[in-house]
A and B are shown apart, each in its own frame.
Chain A
Amino acid sequence: MSALQPPPIAAGQGAPDSGTLRLVRILLPIVVLAAGIAAWEFAVRMYAIPPYVLPAPSAVFQTLVSDWPVLSQSLLTTLLTTLEGFLAAAFGGIALALLFNQSKWLEYSLFPYAVILQVTPVIAIAPLLLIYLPQQTAVIACAWIVGFFPVLSNTTLGLNSVDRNLAGLFRLYGASRLQTLRYLKLPSALPFILGGLRIAGGLSLIGAVVAEIAAGTAGSGSGLAYRIAESGYRLNIPRMFAALLLLSAAGIVIYGLLALTSHIVLRRWHESALGKEN
């Protein structure tokens, strides 16, 4: 490849070929992944490690295919819980931030409790929630608790970061509170809100997983985290790995979707979404 050739003394310095650079950035992680899997497979075969100690990647993949009916059902359950928790976190966080922004009294009264909810580990709250709430609701509540705080704090930061002169301009033209919110505060807070949502997406998945493990109920409607715990008890290690793989993939897809949304929404104006050449 051209990137591996020694660069010409002066010319290659200033302008690295951006297409090549991009290809390298995509290819390198893939090469690392392939090498890792190959080494893993090789080690398992070489030392004849039994699958209940460490399954080979091929065995994990086989399990993924053969157990797909069970695993896909669980994946769907977990994704649904995550989505519900995420939506609750997004709407709850943004709505609470808007309320706080309109009324300082409300902010002073409630914000400390939002912080307390955030700093208390969710794994410790989950068993309590499971006592007081129906299981499905409790799981969503867990996803919400971990997800809403980044949305709340980021939205609050955004709403408070409005350009002072623009705010003055809106006052000069007699803008109502609602108009100021709609035309000034929300648009200028948008990059912050999207940043908060990006964090909340991943956290909602974590919240859902934590609650599922804490709940630990069997049945057709149980999620991926429960499958991992259950397979652990049964020493079905290949299935544990397969479920874990699906969880990671779900996390990556969620992050990717939110990052893409953020990019599409902001690409025309915000620094974070602009190309380097601008």
Chain B
Amino acid sequence: MAEPAALSEPHSGTAGLAVSLREVTKVYQSGVMALGPLDLDVGKGEFVSLLGPSGCGKSTALRLIAGLDVPTSGSVGVAHHAELSPAKNAIGFVFQEPTLMPWTSVRENVLIPLKLAHAPAAEADARVSEVLAQVGLAEFAEAYPRELSGGMKMRVSLARALVTDPDILLMDEPFAALDEITRFRLNNDLLSLWRNLRKTVIFVTHSVFESVYLSQRVVVMTARPGRIGAEFRIDAPEPRAEDFRTSAEYAGYCRQVSNALAPSYSGQPGR
């Protein structure tokens, strides 16, 4: 469906690209080549999944985009907003685990990015309430993380990533530890958030089904070193909902993507 060019905004310098990786490699201190060379362009507002087996460098790629790691070689480009206010961060990150601060309430957990940016308190409070409502946790603002279920904790984590109104949302296998029912519900909620907010989402997963259900584009990665093996556009109509999960079209896409992933299985003991 939509080409990256169609998503471009006239005022941006990078011609509609939110993230652009060029010849990026990452070699760890142990000498292990974790990534690359990798070329990846993600358009503004696009929902892209990085799919691959454990150890294929997909999480590493995400950390490089977030700036949590530096590449060994190559360049990582991330488009920034023209007007960057102090309370605004270009990137929101959702980790594999909820990664919440257990010693304080949900409200404080979601507030922390704004606090670190010295945002005015009243404005920040209003913003926190708004995001908590978006993820359906308005009445749990004063609860402590340990009082919440796994799915709710992940929602808090998502709210925290959204609170700075980032252009780009990076998600590192966020729903991998949840049960299937909760995961499906969160998948749907994430899709509707994405439809409403039109963020760029880069979603790392090892689930073929999740990647096809969510994304406009699935990038299949191969391991050691992490490279792009194949790419698929998922041109399914929107909005997607539960009936898409059981459609023949969905099954077809899943089969294609699974076949592309199959070479990664061979020669990988224990996985």
Contacts and interface: CB of A to CB of B under 8 A. Distances in A.
Interface of A: 163, 165-166, 168-175, 179, 183-184, 187-188, 190, 268-270, 274, 278
Q: Please report whether the interface of chain A is mostly helix, strand, loop or mixed according to DSSP.
A: helix
A163 B93 CA distance: 15
A173 B113 contact: yes
B54 to A, nearest CB: 17
A269 B96 CA distance: 21
Interface stretch (B9-17, B98-106, B187-195, B256-264): B98-106
Contact of A174 (B96, B99, B112, B116): B116
B103 A166 contact: no
Contact of A171 (B68, B146, B164): B68
A184 to B, nearest CB: 7
A276 to B, nearest CB: 14
Contacts of A183: 101, 112, 115-116
Contact of A169 (B93, B144, B145, B146): B93
Contacts of A268: 103, 144
Contact of A190 (B66, B103, B113, B115): B103
Given A268-B144, A269-B144, A173 B116 contact: yes
B68 A184 contact: no
Q: Which of A165, A166, A175, A179: most chain B Cβ within 10 A?
A: A165
A183 B117 CA distance: 13
Interface of B: 63, 66-68, 89, 91, 93, 95-97, 99, 101-104, 112-113, 115-117, 144-146, 164
Contacts of A269: 102-104, 144-146
Nearest to B68: A168
Given A165-B99, A183-B115, A187-B101, A173 B89 contact: yes
A170 B95 CA distance: 13
A274 B103 CA distance: 13
Q: Please report whether the interface of chain B is mostly helix, strand, loop or mixed according to DSSP.
A: loop
B103 A188 contact: yes
Nearest to B118: A179
Given A168-B68, A169-B93, A172-B93, A179 B116 contact: yes
Contacts of A174: 89, 116-117
B93 A166 contact: no
Given A183-B116, A268-B144, A172 B103 contact: no
- List 8 A-B pairs, minimum CB-CB distance, nearest first: A165-B99, A173-B116, A187-B103, A165-B95, A175-B116, A269-B102, A173-B113, A269-B103
Contacts of B113: 173
Q: Which of A170, A172, A268: most chain B Cβ within 10 A?
A: A172
A267 B68 CA distance: 33
A87 B99 CA distance: 34
Contacts of A166: 99, 101
A270 B164 CA distance: 29
Q: Which of A168, A187, A188, A270: most chain B Cβ within 10 A?
A: A168
10 contacts: A168-B63, A172-B68, A172-B89, A173-B113, A179-B115, A183-B115, A188-B103, A268-B144, A269-B144, A269-B146
Given A175-B116, A183-B115, A169 B99 contact: yes
A269 to B, nearest CB: 5
B104 A165 contact: no
